[in-house]
Structure 1
Amino acid sequence: MNDSAVSREQRLADHVKSLPNLPGVYRYLAADGTVLYVGKARDLKKRVSSYFQKNDHSPRIRLMLNQVERIETTVVRSEAEALVLENNLIKALAPRYNILFRDDKSYPYLVVTGHKYPRLAYYRGALDKRNQYFGPFPNGYVVKESIQLLQKVFKLRTCEDTVFANRSRPCLLHQIKRCSAPCVDLVPSETYARDVHNAVLFLQGKANELLGELEARMQAASEAWDFELAASLRDQIQALAKVQERQFVSSNTNELDADIVACVTVNGMLCVNLAMVRGGRHVGDKSLFPSHAEDYTTAEALAAFLAQHYLARSVPPVVICHPAPDDAALIAESLSAQAGRKVLLNCNPNGERRVWLEMARKNAEFAILQRVSQSASQAGRLNALVEALNLPEETQRIECFDISHTLGEATVASCVVFDRGDMQPKEYRRYNIEGVTGGDDYAAMKQVLTRRYGKIAGGEGVVPDLILIDGGKGQLTQAEGVLAEVGLTQPILLGVAKGETRKAGLEQLIVATSHDVIRLPADHPGLHLIQQIRDESHRFAITGHRARRAKTRIASSLEDIPGVGPKRRQKLLARFGGLQGVKAANIDDLMQVEGINDELAERIYTALRG
């Protein structure tokens, strides 16, 4: 053992001895400052020292400990606080030796706004106490379908505030009986408020109570000879009954909201299935595959999921899970503290809850089979491509580039990555192209390749096995020149040119250096893989270009208005959700934005509508 290793071990041992016997979070750091692992402890000194006293660690832990150069700790008041801090850090830092659930997208909600005439809407983002939120739901489809169903029954408005405030006559939704048109006062405010109340009852799972109330009102209206109202209530009852029939999976219990979480491992692959019951309805599920799950048990993985998933998210009153997670009592305590009410963690459910849990477990197993099948399919496509093009057998990583612009405006280049048998969205990159003549795709391709592979040649990044260039011989020649200039000889270059009719299946594959043209049959699995990667690169480039173009046009439109600087532009766009929202706003709406008085509001209104 060399002196540096001895000094490192001694230095770490001395640091561990100085740690307090208090709850907290510890972080293992590599020599370059990268966080390798984040953990929590009831007793920091005992927990951290155990890593350096044991000799029976798994290969993964031994590999991690060999890289540790520094230990950082944070003391907190309780183990529950440590659990929350640990998982916040895991989410933020994504350490390579922690199990990590990359479930960062916000879940959709159905919102009933707090306006005088509340609006029914689809919503993602931070919750506002002025509104009522129902959810979260596993996907947007559930929310959108629920809105459509509720429109049929309760006829609540769904339009944006700026549209609602400026209408002079009812819209099409009123004509097809999906909205009662409160915008032009075609419905009394008390009647609309009652419809909102009924919609909320339904969303809270009180459909039977609501039906009873509507039936009583219908009977009273009939006895009072108000047959028009009675007929309207009858139609509402019938529509509500049809909605109930279309519910995904109905519940026979009084339970309103619950999450069902099952974690399974099949042939070494770990999956967590999250199903949601909202308002007494089973509204769907989603399956999640964590990163760095090797050597983790299902109980450990489930504990990590529960701790990470509910950070900054609403927690239902009941979480039904299997198997029992590690630190179940601590997790329940932490979730209850976060929710501000008791959260029940049920690991041994009965009756209908057991059926839900079994459904989640089966769905997790099915998701694993699907992923294995997909991986096998992709592996077959890659092998077919390797064989057809006589590529090295070890070919795994493929990068593909595309250029997108509109008549030379806001040019964006994309790079997408296929590796480890699948597309790797976390490794995609976009490049804003600057300093080239608009529409010069050759210069744009040269710039993006120089920027990317100049860094990789310098040791920053992974050298791909195959580079696909979306374009013909001219684009391929640019790529050849760049790789020669930066000194990369390992990647194989391949141009992907569209056929004469630009029809899928007629692509021409152009080999670097010789510029020989290869045409694979339209049904060739290797060609299908190239098409998938090329199409993904095209999609990613177009998305980036449109966003950049919109941003440029928005900025230029507002920049032309005297008195509207960067901060005011930002506040306007944030308040109204983009330039179209600002254009639709009236002067009074604009004056509600901080820093905009009546004179400036009128100036903005005139400039954008002029």
Structure 2
Amino acid sequence: MNKLEKNTEVKLSSLSTKERIQTILSVLPENPGCYQYFDEKGTIIYVGKAKNLKKRVSSYFNKEHDNNKTRVLVKQIRDIKYFVVDTEEDALLLENNLIKQYRPRYNVLLKDDKTYPSIVVKNEYFPRIFQTRNIVRDGSQYYGPYPSLYTAKIMLQMIKELYPIRTCKLPLTPETIAQRRYKLCLEYHIKRCKAPCEGLQSSEEYLKNIGEIKEILKGNISTVSKILYDEMQALAAELRFEEAQKVKEKYEVIENYRAKSTVVTPMLTNIDVFSFAENEKSAFINYMHIGNGAIVQAYTFEYKKKLDEAKEELLAMGIIEMRSRFKSTAREIIVPFEPDMNLEGVTINIPQRGDKKKLLDLSVMNVKQYKVDKLKQAEKLNPEQRSTRLLKEIQTQLHLDKLPIHIECFDNSNIQGSDPVAACVVFKMGKPAKKDYRKYNIKTVEGPDDYASMREVVYRRYKRLLEEKAPLPDLIITDGGKGQMEVVREVLQDTLQINIPIAGLAKDKKHRTSEFLFGFPPEPIGLVQKSSLFHLLEQMQNEVHRFAITFHKDKRSKRQTASELDTIKGIGDKTKTVLLRTFKSVKRIREANIDELTKVIGEAKARLLIESLSK
């Protein structure tokens, strides 16, 4: 550092944070590049890329940000450093490398950032072929990486079926082979190796096999298939049928593999396909590489969001990450929307129809399935996460101020006005809180008047909660339509002067949940049938209906079993039970004589019973 640079550094350090940052912003170049934000401890907290460094970095400090996390990030910035590069593509690559190196707190986090398996063809006199995660610069050739260990093993298994390649680690050279240092091993006897260590297989034949294997590993399976087919036909023409049969077996293995992997027209080759899905916390990106009409590589991964990153930015990061990781040189990329990037010499397409659109649809299907699977896995490990997600959906759909952790549902039950009852069931965190359920006998309503019954029950319920200073629900759901909702609103707002959001669940003619109503005047809230949210609301409606019906049946059953026996002093519940169990009804008890009754309940009670019934 020269004297001028030292003086500049000293002057910058003496400035306040705001002055220091404004000074840096004033000299930022308008070139592509990467920038780094540092906190007060000198730790990198964010790395970003920009087509224009001055515009991009200045935007963080020259406007109010809607996203809270971005505002928190800006408050922590104490210093800025940047790198100028030649092109936007260089900026993308540099950003990707810096994020991997420093893993800044506010950058998206690649959840699956690990070393993937490759298949290596070793640089040896008789090359070995095996799976590895370590890249050694010794002239060996590496193919992949593969999305999973399973994929690499399947490829190696197919190669071993096709070609007798050595698996031993012996240092084979012309000298050691000529000296006959090694003995035949089991691999030779089970015909998985032709024993080049003993000179039983020539270097020319072995390397011919290696050449075909390399074509397979490159994805040029159709090329190898054609070579084998031509060789098979030539041997058959020369009447060398045994040799032709062995080649045919190899050809069938190759064709079987091709049949499983080919899902698109053979005309499409060397194409990258990307699709995108997201939720509040994560972004999911599916990558497929197409070579010679087959999916050569397929992989889905997840980014953990940290700020309010745009989907175009996240897709661009995913494209750079996957092309770098899988060493793709494809000159065409298929995407669902335009990413925030430009790659020199690469065409980016958003197909609307045809084979390329089918490819994109396949990728979209995979990324959506991956998103659903990740959600299910998370919810199995943490059941509360599912409840919170569903309650968050209700909050979003109804524009509630807070999460509806405490929900109460009401329903009435009567038969033509007889034995009218009502029920209140309580759900907390989306689960039934049965100890908080309440039953109500309707006291002030005569006849079948559901509205009046609802008015009485809601008034009794919340008047008592107010008097006891108990917590009120975050949402009330009525089992009924607009009329029931209006009755509840009148009681809460006009009579009790409290404001609780009210929703309604209406049923169709087949008594199935059909509409979710909210607002005044109530409007239907669109629900996807068979969705998790729909099933939760359906469960709430069915539960309150079950609870009300059960209570009504119990009350009606008690009334029906109530009889003249209940009014007779000296005839208790046990005696009544014995009489009804023996004689089945009050009518038969009346018809019984003194001797029959005495045998069951004794003479004294028998005479008392006959005397009371005769009155």
- Distance, in Å, in 2 between the alignment partners of 1:193 and 1:349 is 46
Which letter does structure 1 place at the counterpart of 2:78?
E
CA deviations on 1:111-132 (whole Å, 9 max, x unpaired) are: 3333232222213233647333
Quote how far apart the aligned CAs of 1:307 are. Answer: 2.9
Give the length in aligned residue pairs. 368
CA separation of 1:366 and 1:210: change in aligned 2, threshold 3 A? closer
Partner Cα distance (2:228, 2:291) in 1: 23
Q: Which residue of 2 aligns with 1:356?
A: 359
Task: Please tell me whether residue 289 in structure 1 is matched to residue 298 in structure 2.
Answer: no
Deviation digits for residues 364-386 of structure 1 (CA, Å, limit 9, x no counterpart): 222222222222222238999xx
Which is greater in Rg?
2
- In the other structure, the counterpart of 1:443 is none
2:55 partner letter: K
Please give the secondary structure, in 2, of the residue aligned with 1:288: strand
Alignment equivalent of 2:193, drawn from 167, 176, 179: 179
Q: Given the superposition, is the C-alpha separation of residues 213 and 41 from structure 1 closer, same or farther in structure 2, using an over 3 Å criterion?
A: closer
The 10-residue stretch of structure 1 (224-233 or 193-202) with the greater mean CA deviation from structure 2:
224-233
Deviations 1:526-559 (CA, angstroms, capped at 9, x unpaired)? xxxxxxxxxxxxxxxxxxxxxxxxxxxxxxxxxx
Q: Which letter does structure 2 place at the counterpart of 1:230?
A: A
| CA contact 1:260–1:360 (8 Å) conserved in 2 | yes
Task: Report the Cα offset of residue 145 of structure 1.
Answer: 1.1
Q: Which residue of structure 2 lines up, in the alignment, with residue 375 of structure 1?
A: 378
Q: Which residue of 1 aligns with 2:151?
A: 142
Given the two structures, how large is their TM-score scaled by the length of structure 2?
A: 0.53
Q: 2:275 maps to which residue? A: 262
Query: Is structure 2 residue 354 aligned with structure 1 residue 324?
Result: no
Residue 40 of structure 1, aligned match among 46, 49, 54: 49
Offset from partner CA, 1:176-202 (integer Å, 9 cap, x none) = 333333222222222222222222333
What CA distance in whole angstroms lies between the structure 1 residues aligned with 2:220 and 2:83? 46
Name the counterpart of 1:133.
142
Cα distance between partner residues in 2 of 1:383 and 1:224: 69
Are 1:315 and 2:328 an aligned pair? yes
* Corresponding letter in the other structure for 1:71: I
One-letter amino acid of the counterpart of residue 21, structure 2: L
Q: 2:30, 2:296 → 1: CA distance?
A: 46
Q: How does 1:195-214 map to 2 (within 5 A)?
A: 195-214=209-228
Residue-by-residue CA offset, 1:199-227 (whole Å, 9 max, x unaligned):
23333444444344334333433444444
Matched, 1:298 2:311: yes
1:97: how far off?
Answer: 1.8
2:360 alignment partner AA: L
**Larger relative contact order (CA 8 Å, sep ≥ 6):** 1
**Partner of residue 288, structure 2:** 275
Equivalent residue, structure 1, for 2:207:
193
Is the Cα–Cα contact under 8 Å of residues 109 and 134 in structure 1 kept in the other structure? yes
- Give distance in 2, aligned partners of 1:88 and 1:369: 30
Contact 2:222 2:292 in 1 (8 A): no
Q: Distance in 1 between matches of 2:220 and 2:31?
A: 47
After TM superposition, give the deviation of residue 358 of structure 1 in Å: 1.7
CA distance in 1, matches of 2:186, 2:304: 48
Could you say which residue in structure 1 is the equivalent of 2:161?
152
Partner of 1:51: 60
Shift of 1:42: 3.3
Structure 1 352/118 Cα, relative in aligned 2: closer, same or farther at 3 Å?
A: farther
Matches within 5 A, 1:413-562: none
2:102 pairs with 93, 107, 116, which one? Answer: 93
Q: Note if contact 1:319-1:344 (Cα within 8 Å) is conserved in structure 2.
A: yes
Tell me if the contact between 1:299 and 1:323 (Cα under 8 Å) persists in the aligned partners: no
Checking the alignment, whether the CA contact within 8 Å between 2:232 and 2:248 is kept in structure 1 is yes
* Distance in 2 of aligned mates of 1:308 and 1:208: 29
Superimposed CA distance per residue, residues 38-89 of structure 1 (whole angstroms, 9 cap, x where no aligned partner): 1223333332222221124422211111111112223334433333222221
Q: Distance in 2 between matches of 1:382 and 1:59?
A: 22
Q: Is the 8 A contact 1:38 1:90 kept in 2?
A: yes
Change (3 A) 1:244 1:327: closer
1:70 maps to 79
CA contact (8 A) 2:147 2:299 kept: yes
For 1:159 and 1:89, how far apart are their aligned partners in 2?
40
Matched with 2:9 is: none
Query: Partners in 1 of 2:213 and 2:139 — Cα distance?
Result: 17
Corresponding position: 1:221 with 2:235: yes
1:317 and 1:214 map into 2 onto residues whose CA distance is 28
Check whether the contact 1:156–1:178 (CA below 8 A) recurs between aligned residues: yes
Equivalent AA in structure 2 for residue 114 of structure 1: N
User: What do residues 299-357 of structure 1 show as CA deviations (whole Å, max 9, x unaligned)?
Assistant: 2211122234444651231563433343332xx23xxxxxxxx5444443753333232
Say if 2:23 is the partner of 1:14.
yes
Conserved 8 A contact 2:337-2:350: yes
The 1:268/1:76 distance shift into structure 2, 3 A limit, reads: closer
Residues 124 and 66 of structure 1, relative CA distance in 2, 3 Å threshold: same
Q: Distance in 1 between matches of 2:119 and 2:151?
A: 9
- Shift, 1:147, TM fit: 1.1
Q: Counterpart amino acid of 1:119? A: R
Match of 2:258 in 1: 244
Q: Distance in 2 between matches of 1:158 and 1:282?
A: 28
**Deviations 1:583-607 (Å, cap 9, x if unpaired)?**
xxxxxxxxxxxxxxxxxxxxxxxxx
Read off the aligned partner of 2:298 and give its amino acid letter: D
Which range moves more in the overlay, 351-360 or 122-131? 122-131
Gapped regions of structure 1 (runs ≥ 5): 1-5, 334-341, 385-610
2:113 aligned to which of 104, 108, 120: 104
Q: Tell me which amino acid in the other structure corresponds to 2:378.
A: S
Stretches of structure 2 that go unaligned for 5 or more consecutive residues are 1-14, 388-615
8 Å CA contact 2:266–2:294 kept in 1: the answer is no
Question: 1:161 & 1:250 partners in 2: Cα distance?
Answer: 41
Q: Distance in 2 between matches of 1:90 and 1:74?
A: 14
Distance 1:9 1:320, change over 3 A: same
Q: 1:273 to 1:239 in 2, by over 3 A?
A: closer
> Aligned partners of 2:88 and 2:297: how far apart in 1?
33
* Other-structure match for 1:425: none
Matched AA of 1:169: K
